[in-house]
Structure 1
């Protein structure tokens, strides 16, 4: 393992190609004294930092962050809003570390592995700035604190998913609603299931057509949390052609229900769903929505981060593809 210690005179991000990719999170909580964050101590480097680690083959950055937190400190909770990515030089070259916020509730246990991490320390953001060994780690902390101040840190995900790759429409002779996933789509659906586990939606709303249902089933079956699965005819292509406002209403209900949710539909339905999601976007986010056909690739998803408290609004947006072999 290469040392994470920065080399003096590191270039600005983007000047050199990234050769080491990593991901992690800033665990946070609220107590009577306000916002607290969790620092880890790594005995190998004798430093204080955020839990993180390098990307493994066959995983996305989101999955990497989630896995590394579980392995290093035993914390198994969903990822929150994205935070700034840091860049610094290591022996191998330029390293990027992608970060997310991670809310730690009263019942969530922290258990350092004793090897990579031998101690953890809850502290204020001010104290964390003094203790952090790598100065680049301050940037995501600053962003986390700013989001907390404006009430945009404690969020739930609402996820828009396009079904995985289906068998060609032109070669399918049976009912359109029965068209199945292609072999590539079956693998994509498994990858989608792994990716959704990063956010753990507890409500799944999907078109009942088979290619949509088969896209979400791997997540539903593997989930360790209770899932409410709803089949909505309004999300099918045929129903949408006649009454698109009904599909839009399914998006409104996602916001009204107050649950981490995923909605799965078809490419022709996506413009209607995206338009309804755009109603809730904070200023500056609409430009990040896909605006041209096909909007999302098969199996690709959009994560809309919505504050748990207050009026419905989207404070952060991510477009993510599952790992594609």
Structure 2
């Protein structure tokens, strides 16, 4: 992010009504316009956290993020650039029923519309472009997706500073802060399954997430660094199970193992391999990459992949 630009995030919120796609638009009170739900990043927030929060604040609907669908840029009245990141976000029937939205001084009304009506109804060309990008995914049949997230453990004590075995190295103070910082972003993607190398530094990295979700950590020695160094790692089996399960999951592992995890994810989904895999697996400690896969047809390839840098 730059110091001069204003950053915001939002979503193309969608649902299926009798098998037909509908998109949620908001009517803003003050501006008397029709737009997509979005808002500015709060201090300390990541973009994905902002998107989920703003969608909920403006519509009353709690969502998890799907595919990234684009970035809009425009100049504000005072001359500063505004950069808005958007994700697809499915509104489940339960989430819609739970919405506590009432018209207020910011949002006058919500409206579910057909894609065609949305394109002709939105007040701003930049919003139209975002919806058009979203619709290309819908046309390709990859609207319903689930994420498989490769996470590198947070900052751990150096080997030279630790008297025990490598697998028992704990996180540093910075590492513990990183572990807490990733909870919000991972929750934004709807993570429900937590898999971890059995190394202490990996377990401690996902422990705050497990506590927040009240979900167990499944230990997977097959993606540990010890197994990798001994030639006994098995990312293929682990990744294959995650793809078959079609559930949002995070796999916490180590720098040397991450390329295997991303490579096996590409192989398991019939995705053409390329340099993007190297970029997605070259993570700093506390960083993660999100691979979005089609829930109805995972074998159609990785629909999108995005990397989130550590915040601490």
TM-score normalised by the chain length of structure 1? 0.88
Q: Is 1:70 aligned to residue 59 of structure 2?
A: no
RMSD of equivalent CA atoms: 2.0
Is contact 1:157-1:303 (8 Å) kept? yes
1:301 corresponds to: 288
SS in 2 for 1:267: coil
Is contact 1:285-1:316 (8 Å) kept? no
Is contact 1:278-1:286 (8 Å) kept? no
Taking the aligned partners of 2:294 and 2:9, their CA distance within structure 1 comes to 23
Taking the aligned partners of 1:196 and 1:94, their CA distance within structure 2 comes to 28
1:170 corresponds to: 160
Structure 1: state its 5+ residue gaps: 1-15
Task: Count residues with an aligned counterpart.
Answer: 306
Q: Is 1:277 aligned to residue 265 of structure 2?
A: yes
Taking the aligned partners of 2:212 and 2:274, their CA distance within structure 1 comes to 33
The CA deviation string for residues 270-319 of structure 1, in whole angstroms up to 9 with x for no partner, is 22212212224676773322359x81000100101011112433111011
User: By percentage of residues, which structure has more helix?
Assistant: 2
Taking the aligned partners of 2:279 and 2:128, their CA distance within structure 1 comes to 34
The structural deviation recorded for 1:245 is 5.0
1:242 corresponds to: 230
Closer/same/farther in 2, CA of residues 283 and 246 from structure 1, 3 Å limit: closer
Taking the aligned partners of 2:51 and 2:221, their CA distance within structure 1 comes to 36
The CA deviation string for residues 75-119 of structure 1, in whole angstroms up to 9 with x for no partner, is 112101001111111123211111000001121124435232121
Is contact 1:281-1:315 (8 Å) kept? no
**Which 10-residue stretch deviates more, 75-84 or 306-315?**
306-315
2:274 corresponds to: 286
Is contact 1:162-1:265 (8 Å) kept? yes
The structural deviation recorded for 1:31 is 1.6
Q: Is 1:83 aligned to residue 69 of structure 2?
A: yes
Q: Is 1:197 aligned to residue 187 of structure 2?
A: yes
Is contact 2:194-2:250 (8 Å) kept? yes
The structural deviation recorded for 1:17 is 8.8
The structural deviation recorded for 1:210 is 0.9
Taking the aligned partners of 2:273 and 2:38, their CA distance within structure 1 comes to 27
**Which 10-residue stretch deviates more, 121-130 or 308-317?**
308-317
TM-score normalised by the chain length of structure 2? 0.92
1:229 corresponds to: 217
Taking the aligned partners of 1:133 and 1:20, their CA distance within structure 2 comes to 20
Taking the aligned partners of 2:311 and 2:35, their CA distance within structure 1 comes to 28
The structural deviation recorded for 1:153 is 1.1
1:105 corresponds to: 92
SS in 2 for 1:107: helix
Taking the aligned partners of 2:138 and 2:198, their CA distance within structure 1 comes to 39
Structure 2: state its 5+ residue gaps: none
The CA deviation string for residues 219-246 of structure 1, in whole angstroms up to 9 with x for no partner, is 11012xx634210111211112223552
1:10 corresponds to: none
Taking the aligned partners of 1:285 and 1:188, their CA distance within structure 2 comes to 30
**Which 10-residue stretch deviates more, 208-217 or 108-117?**
108-117
Closer/same/farther in 2, CA of residues 17 and 238 from structure 1, 3 Å limit: closer
Taking the aligned partners of 1:83 and 1:296, their CA distance within structure 2 comes to 23
Is contact 2:235-2:264 (8 Å) kept? no
2:251 corresponds to: 263
Closer/same/farther in 2, CA of residues 246 and 177 from structure 1, 3 Å limit: same
Taking the aligned partners of 1:183 and 1:33, their CA distance within structure 2 comes to 50
The structural deviation recorded for 1:256 is 1.6
